[in-house]
Each structure stands twice: as structure tokens, then as C-alpha cells.
Structure 1
Amino acid sequence: MTAKLIGIHQNLDLVEISDMKTPEFQKINPFKRIPVLDDNGFLLSESRAINSYLCNEYAKDDSLYPRNSQRRAIVDQMLDFDLGTLNHPIMDYWYQCILRNNPHDEVRYQKMFNPLKKFNEVLDRYDFAAGMTFTIADVSLLASISSVDALGIGLAKYPHILRWFNQSREIIPDYNQINHTGILQIKELVGQWKGSFGLEFS
């Protein structure tokens, strides 16, 4: 999504989960995770690091990742909030329950909601995650909130997140084209998992 925002062409290779365990992939990324960026032999993993690098290296201006140290620090703060506070319980629930096809875990489920409340409070004060303009913090947080949305958790109870979610998706060029297939696959997976255990979220 960041590459689209700054207007650079990319060649995408789809990687199956099973491929990440192969020796060939581990040579590319010893952490055995996606995404991985290969920029003419420079290899970089972790989406937030990749987004920062792309902005530093290729962006025509600093709107997505400000050069001003204080404004950049706020963006970094929200990137850290996403990674350590918001995204962590979301991914914990995904991995432990859905991807492993385990029953619903209410304790893990409830841990998602306080970070959502905090993010909603941030967006009550600002248009976007790090202030009044769209940055790479919004790109990362958009991925996290998309996972919440795919679970079927109603965002209407977080009106500022819902406003931001809809607005942010309009900003990213070809957002639906980029994410359509993946979102459908995720929602199908969630639907099958919910059906197995007779679950419904609101």
C-alpha cells in the first residue's frame, strides 16, 4: 500500500505459508516471515520497517513520513502503538484461535477492546493516527483494523475508528484491487471457523 502511495512499481511474488519454512526462504529472511522486500539485493523484512525505508528512499516529499524530528516521532509512536498495543492482541487471537482452529478464547478476545478504545480516543482528537495528515502509521493501523473488521466485530461502537477506516481506504490508490482477494480469503476462513464453533460477534 505504501508503494502505491509513493508511486513506485513493484513486482509481487506470492508466498505460501509452507514456503516460509523452506531453506531457500530462510536465506531470504531467517525470521521465516512475510513480507520481505528485495530492493536490488537489499533485503528487508517487517512491514513497518519496509514502509519507513520506502519513504526514506523513494518518496517525493515527506508527507507520509515527516523529516521533522518531532512530527516523525509522533508517527513512530503510533507505529509502536500499533505493533505493541493494538496489533498484538489481535494477532494473538488470530493465531491461537482461528489459524489453529481452536475454540473461542474469551480472555484473548477481550484483550482486543481496550486498545481499540484508546485508538478511538486518539481519532476523536485527530483526523488521522499521527495528526491531521495521512502517514505510514495509518497504513499499518489500517491493516490491523482490517483484521478486526474481518472478524465481524462491529466498528460502529468505535465511531472515530469507523470514520477513519472508511476515509483511509479511499486515500490509498487501488485499495480494493490490492486487498480484495486477500480480504475475501480471510473472511471465508473466519466464516468457516465461526461455523465450526457456532460463533457470532457483534
Structure 2
Amino acid sequence: MPIVLYHFPLSPPCRTALCTAKALGLDVTIKIVNLLAKEHLNEDYVKMNPEHTIPSLDDNGLIIWHSHAIATYLVSKYGKDDSLYPVDPAKRVVVDQRLYFDATTLFPRLRATTFPLMFLGKTDVEPDKKAAIYEALGILEKYLEPTGWVAGDHVTVADIACAVTTATLQAMGVVLDAYPKIREWLERCNSTIPHFEEANKEALKDVAELIKSKVTHNVYAP
């Protein structure tokens, strides 16, 4: 049975799951769930995933949702080695911590600004919410200082998750001039992680166009 990923390209969490699958060389069947058309609220989808979030993964009847759970599951089951998600507890806990940073800080601060623009008719971003994004990027810059990677001395699923979110922020108009480590790291992710740039390129263009259609100026400029 094929692995099925319920996916919406504009969603950073969806692309985190997809990029992890592609980095592992997995052949996954993509089923689009259009958030903008509220397809995630369809009865069949809610029956499968009561939280009606995306992405969801169906691996031969095992249903998983939340992108970080999907990413770590895929590496644990299908990875040829544990480099993307180390088995050693001392190394793994750092990866987990950075995944939690993306899940609880970096991505929520992105969503806190995009949701009002896309669904509530807002045409600007509140200054405190914008400042919160730049504060999170300052933390990420510190994480990258020791090795150039988010969690250790090589790429892990934490880099995939944080890089997808950060690339999306950049596409939205967030300015990365003050974060040289982040800029270098994003370039390294594009060149080092298999299929990473390919999996994000068109979606990032669509994100940029969608944001521009909602505002009259760069509402994310510092």
C-alpha cells in the first residue's frame, strides 16, 4: 500500500512532512486538502483526523497528524540511518527541542499574522506580532552559530522543519538582512537536503503572491 500524505502546498507544516519524505527518497501519494476551500472540515477527513489539521499521513492504515510527529516517524521507520533523527538520547533531545521551538514559537508566530490576513480580512500586521517574528529569528540565529545547523553538526529533521517555516517567512516579506547565519543556512538547506528546494519553490512563490494580494505594502518589513 502506498504512503498517502494529505497535503496543502501553501502550508509550512505540510511541506515539512513532504520534504522529510523526499529527503528519505520515499514515494508518497499526495492528496490535496485545500484549506482555503475548507476541505479539511469535510466529514471524511474529520473522521480520519478529529483535529482536522493538515498534514495527515496514512501509512497502510496507521494515521498520523502533526508534521513533526510525521517527520520523526518517517525517519524512524524508513531512514537508512539515524542521521536525520539520532537514536542517541543526548543528540535526539536537542533535535526534539528545536522541533518544539518550531512547533511552539516559530511557526505559531508566522500563523498569528497570516491567519488574520487570509481569513479575517486584515490588511496589516500588528507591530507586536511582527516584533515576535523577529525575536524568534534572533533565537534561531543563535542556534545556528555553533555549527551552522539547528541541532548538531549536520542536517536533521529540525533543520527541515525550521527551514521550511523560515523560508516561508522570507517569502511573506520578512527581511533577513540582520541574520547572516540564517541566510547562509537556508542556502545550505537548498543545496544539501535532497529535493528541498524543489519541494518548496513553487509554494513559496504562491505564498508571496497570496500575501501581496491581501496588502498594499510589505507589512513584514522591520
Q: Which amino acid aligns with 2:28?
A: Q
Q: Is the 8 A contact 1:4 1:172 kept in 2?
A: no
Q: Which amino acid aligns with 1:146?
A: A
Unaligned runs of 5+ in 2: 1-18
Q: C-alpha displacement at 1:161, in angstroms?
A: 0.6
TM-score norm. by structure 1 comes to: 0.93
Q: Which amino acid aligns with 1:172?
A: I
Q: Is the 8 A contact 2:23 2:195 kept in 1?
A: no
Bigger proportion of residues as strand: 2
Distance across 1 between alignment mates of 2:183 and 2:110 = 17
Structure 1 stretch displaced more, 91-100 or 40-49:
91-100
Q: Is the 8 A contact 1:34 1:45 kept in 2?
A: yes
2:210 maps to what in 1?
189
Q: Percent identity?
A: 28
Distance across 1 between alignment mates of 2:91 and 2:75 = 15
**RMSD over equivalenced CA pairs, Å:** 1.4
Show the 5 A alignment for 1:69-148: 69-104=89-124, 105-148=126-169
Q: Select 2:86's aligned residue among 66, 79, 84.
A: 66
Distance across 2 between alignment mates of 1:71 and 1:177 = 29
Structure 1 residue 15 corresponds to structure 2 residue 36:
no
2:6 maps to what in 1?
none
Distance across 1 between alignment mates of 2:131 and 2:119 = 18
Structure 1 residue 53 corresponds to structure 2 residue 73:
yes
1:43 maps to what in 2?
63
Q: Secondary structure at the match of 2:177?
A: helix
Structure 1 stretch displaced more, 150-159 or 177-186:
177-186
Structure 1 residue 154 corresponds to structure 2 residue 175:
yes
Distance across 1 between alignment mates of 2:201 and 2:106 = 23
Distance across 2 between alignment mates of 1:138 and 1:65 = 11
Q: C-alpha displacement at 1:96, in angstroms?
A: 2.2
1:84-117 deviation per Cα after TM superposition (whole angstroms, max 9, x unaligned): 1222211111112344330321121111111111
Bigger proportion of residues as helix: 1
Distance across 1 between alignment mates of 2:172 and 2:146 = 27
Q: Which amino acid aligns with 1:153?
A: V
